[in-house]
Amino acid sequence: MTDTNDRADLDSPWKEVLEAYFPQAMQFFFPQVAALIDWEYPYEFLDKEFNQIAREAEIGKRYADKLVKVRRIEGEELWLLLHVEIQAQPEKKFPERMFTYNFRIFDRFHQHAISKANFV
């Protein structure tokens, strides 16, 4: 059984990759969404906002999730909730956790978020 601290140590590199190589990570993991983004505009990681909703969500553990604000090619702002994880077994409450995050994002910030997950 994986301890929460071990899980956090394994997920930290994924968060670092998503931040350091965001455009490349989007192209690799989520190419269809990457095609919607106007890469001429800066993107913004919403760590403070994500920590607010993750802290309030009362289900399960928190993993390598990132909340990012980008601009679509059409011009409007878009929030992305990204999850990249190496997983040996499916997490039963994963869909519930993503739903809770999306609800909290809308409830607190009045923003819809596109949720994308990739399990390696």
State pTM to two decimals. Answer: 0.74
Residue 74 has pLDDT above 90, yes or no: yes
The b/e string for 34-68 (b: 16+ C-beta within 10 A; e otherwise) is bebbeeeeebebbeebbebbbeebeeeebbbbbbb
CA dist 19 to 7, 23, 72, 74, 89, Å? 19, 9, 19, 24, 26
Q: How many Cα atoms sit within 13 Å of 120 on the Cβ side?
A: 11
Number of independent structural domains in the chain: 1
Q: Which one has a higher pLDDT value, 95 or 9? A: 95
Spatial separation of the C-alpha atoms in residues 59 and 100, rounded to whole Å: 8
Range of the domain at 111: 4-119
Mean pLDDT over each residue of the chain, to the nearest integer? 80
CATH number for the domain spanning 107: value is 3.30.300
**Nearest alpha-carbon partner for 53 in 35, 42, 72, 66:** 66
**Nearest alpha-carbon partner for 15 in 72, 73, 86, 99:** 86
